[in-house]
Structure 1
Amino acid sequence: MKPPKNFVPDPFAYHEEVELLIDDVTNLGQGVGRIDGWVVFVPFVLPGERVVARIWRNKKQYSDSDLVRIIEASPDRVDPVCGLFGVCGGCQYQHYSYAGQLDWKRKQIEQLILKMTDCKVPVNACLGDTGHTYGYRSKITPHFRRPPHLPDTPIGFQKAASRAIVDVQQCPIASPGINEALPVQRKRLKAEDGLYRRGGTLLLRDCREGVVHDMKAVVSEKIDDLTFRFVAGEFFQNNPHVLPRMVSYALQQAARPGIRFLVDAYCGVGVFGICGHELFEKVEGIEVSEPAIQLARENATLNGVENVTFHLGKAEAIFSELQFEPSETTVLLDPPRKGCDPGFIAQLIAFRPARIVYVSCGPDTQARDLKLFLDSNLYRITDVQPVDLFPQTRHIENIATLELATDLSV
């Protein structure tokens, strides 16, 4: 039978084994190799390794594969701690030395900013905690897709490259308290015949009150000497060992000579504003979530902080009534993973604060937003600091600092 017009044959047969050199790793933790210019993605490999991979899918511009064996290993390759590594999708880098992880995350930030902004800027060494590369995570949410009392129902996390659930009885990156509580909660779920008619999610939040399972419970955590109350099932950073250092660094970038005021946009329960209250004459925080704002106000009272005010509303709404002198103001941003709305960025640029400190859990969307600031020709990037809140995983937090150019031709 004659092939259709413009037919392009697959570059590889299904399950064909190929040998290739890994020259890069994507921000999803996938190794990148090339054969005659054709890209092949391979999981659980490291830059510089020569491997054999088995093709399982051909796309229009690349192929996906499974790792078969390592021919030449990287000197940064180590033995994973978890027996489920490579099956469970929670971790991507347990086979990577921690020093290698930190350096690779720094390089990824550098590459993202260059790619998105066409601007090559120095990136500081990634800030991490070598004493807590495992056992650090203070919240996990195991899932189950059918009633847990049924035989062989897995309770755990999504498999690598699959939507299926892998059964997880212990998690090495979770805190010791969580790993102590997890078997008890798994047993409880499996004993509750008829309570769950379908799948669901289990919460284990390790906090000052112990390991909490109620999604709606109000719990607390300390950052240095300050106490913060938040809803157990809602967002609050999950690495209590590195979080204080990240907050401190961002506030150091925000508080420079001549800066009297701080705007804490996307403020959540008020962590940055309250932690930085002694560094500024006045702090204004804004958040779209009413429960979060209520807790932020309670946290200010709880910690005896009087110069921080929190407002309910969209981040861009603050500029219409803000009484701060822009030349004496830093705006600190900590938006969700999707980044900032372009309209907010336009209003922020129009306000022209002296400094902008952008904290992000999504370095790709952050780099996209940084381009808008640079394209205004009003701001330049002065500092980039990656932070490793999630060792053994592909996730990177990043703090980018911009300052208003004194020479507006820059």
Structure 2
Amino acid sequence: MTSPQAPKNFKPEPFAYHEELELRVDTLTNLGSGLGRVNGWVVMVPFALPGERVRVRVYRNHKQHSDADLLEIIEPSPERVDPLCPLFGTCGGCQYQHMSYAAQREWKRQQVSELLVRLAGITHPVNPTHGSPREYHYRSKLTPHYPKPFKPKPGEAATPKREMPIGFLHQGQRNRIVDVPACPIATEAINEALPTERKRIRERSAKLKKGGTLLLRHTLDGVTTDNNASVTEKIGPVVFQFLAGDFFQNNPFILPELVDFVMERACIDGVRYLVDAYCGVGVFALCGARRFERVAGVEVNASAVKWANANAAINGIKNAEFYIGEAESIFSAINFPGDETAMIIDPPRAGCDEAFIRQLLALGPRRVVYVSCDPSTQARDLKMLLTGGYTLEEVQPFDLFPQTRHIENVAVLRLG
């Protein structure tokens, strides 16, 4: 039997292409892959769990580690479970369906702790991860992709017709889409609506000139497929309207618990005012308005500010105002005294830039509650805040995305 031909850009050291190895998995990476060592050399293996002994096949060598496919689980972890989705391991959407939910929460807690130490030099207790009330069927927004339909060039022989895949990227690949007829982390209503949308886009495939993305957004209005449709969601007694294609947290089952936690940490120590930075359509500001004398939301997206002000009016909230904040003077419209102010920051995955942090430090809010969808960029920003005079009080992960590697983390700080 001949050895498989290695790709042209394959680096042959330290392992040959498709060389098979046995190793013990030590830990998980932040991308959800198992990490083990062979003679001290790091090997990363998707879908392998800590403590397992596995047989793997190398397909890529990097400068400091190798990537390998999982071939056999020789000694399974007691935390290994059967995945619910038949496409798990092929579809790149989920990383942890093969791990018990208790173990998922503990690994996410541990990863937050490790990131704080490694990226910011911060050693601080991390609370147990707050679990989602739903482990599956929690996701209220789904965005399946479809590729550019294949059309033979003039004179080129036609290939047998295949159905256009509609789904998500293949595990470990950047351009190949896996056909996903149903998704167990999406709500039941989305899965009921998905076949109709898949049929609709396939019937139009002959007219399509490029690939694209579908939208299925489940709210109080049902399942919406129009990005520009106005939809309604509710957190506790507060009603929110927004465009279906715009950002709104995608796990409505845990969202009230996250909001309550943030508000309880923000409104102590004699704080009278609240600044909601990166406020979006006003979720934190409006849910917390009754706890403060005045509330100000700041957002660079003009459309989001429009919706936030409309949501304040819909709910009859008169002590909240929302402003478009320019990057160089984000808080120029706010005149709250810093020692009586709390600030909530919930930035995009890239975190806060240095200009924002400098302006926050200049304002000097007494309390800061930092909500992050990427604990690595959060750790970077926390280091600057601690250097600027803040003290870290509490670190609380929330699992908004069960079965995946993604972590929402809340850091609570006070000035002094």
Please give the TM-score of this superposition, normalised by the length of structure 2.
0.93
**CA-CA distance at 1:193 after TM superposition:** 4.8
Counterparts of 1:25 and 1:314, CA distance in 2: 40
**CA-CA distance at 1:192 after TM superposition:** 2.1
Among 22, 26, 49, the alignment partner of 1:23 is 26
Counterparts of 2:313 and 2:334, CA distance in 1: 22
Among 200, 206, 227, the alignment partner of 1:188 is 200
* Equivalences for residues 115-194 of structure 1 within 5 A: 115-129=118-132, 131-147=133-149, 151-163=162-174, 164-194=176-206
Partner of 1:4: none
Among 38, 44, 49, the alignment partner of 1:41 is 44
Indicate whether 1:340 and 2:352 are aligned. Answer: yes
Partner of 2:105: 102
Among 264, 267, 278, the alignment partner of 1:266 is 278
Runs (5+) with no aligned partner, structure 2: 1-10, 152-160
Tell me, what secondary structure is at the counterpart of 2:332? helix
Counterparts of 2:329 and 2:256, CA distance in 1: 29
Partner of 1:3: none
Counterparts of 1:29 and 1:124, CA distance in 2: 20
Tell me, what secondary structure is at the counterpart of 1:382? strand
**CA-CA distance at 1:318 after TM superposition:** 4.0
Counterparts of 1:226 and 1:199, CA distance in 2: 38
- The verdict on how the C-alpha distance between 1:60 and 1:263 changes in structure 2, with shifts beyond 3 A counting, is same
Task: Give the residue type in structure 2 aligned to 1:26.
Answer: T
Partner of 2:377: 365
* Equivalences for residues 9-408 of structure 1 within 5 A: 10-129=13-132, 131-147=133-149, 151-163=162-174, 164-314=176-326, 317-376=329-388, 378-405=389-416
Residues 190 and 217 in structure 2, CA contact (< 8 A), matched pair in contact too = yes
Tell me, what secondary structure is at the counterpart of 1:100? helix
**CA-CA distance at 1:91 after TM superposition:** 0.2
Task: Give the residue type in structure 1 aligned to 2:45.
Answer: V
Tell me, what secondary structure is at the counterpart of 1:241? coil
Residues 395 and 410 in structure 2, CA contact (< 8 A), matched pair in contact too = yes
Residues 56 and 68 in structure 2, CA contact (< 8 A), matched pair in contact too = yes
Counterparts of 1:40 and 1:74, CA distance in 2: 18
Show CA shifts across 1:242-281 (max 9, x none).
0111111111111103000000000000000000001111
**CA-CA distance at 1:47 after TM superposition:** 1.0
Task: Give the residue type in structure 1 aligned to 2:135.
Answer: T
Partner of 2:157: none
Counterparts of 1:354 and 1:159, CA distance in 2: 46
Task: Give the residue type in structure 2 aligned to 1:384.
Answer: V
8-17 or 214-223: bigger deviation? 8-17
Tell me, what secondary structure is at the counterpart of 1:39? strand
Residues 272 and 340 in structure 2, CA contact (< 8 A), matched pair in contact too = yes
Runs (5+) with no aligned partner, structure 1: 1-7, 406-410
Root mean square deviation of aligned Cα: 1.4
Counterparts of 1:78 and 1:310, CA distance in 2: 47
Residues 330 and 359 in structure 2, CA contact (< 8 A), matched pair in contact too = no
Task: Give the residue type in structure 2 aligned to 1:379.
Answer: Y
Show CA shifts across 1:84-103 (max 9, x none).
00000000000010000001
Show CA shifts across 1:287-323 (max 9, x none).
0111110000000000110000000123662433422
Partner of 2:4: none
Tell me, what secondary structure is at the counterpart of 1:251? helix
**CA-CA distance at 1:9 after TM superposition:** 5.8
Task: Give the residue type in structure 2 aligned to 1:332.
Answer: I
Counterparts of 1:44 and 1:312, CA distance in 2: 44
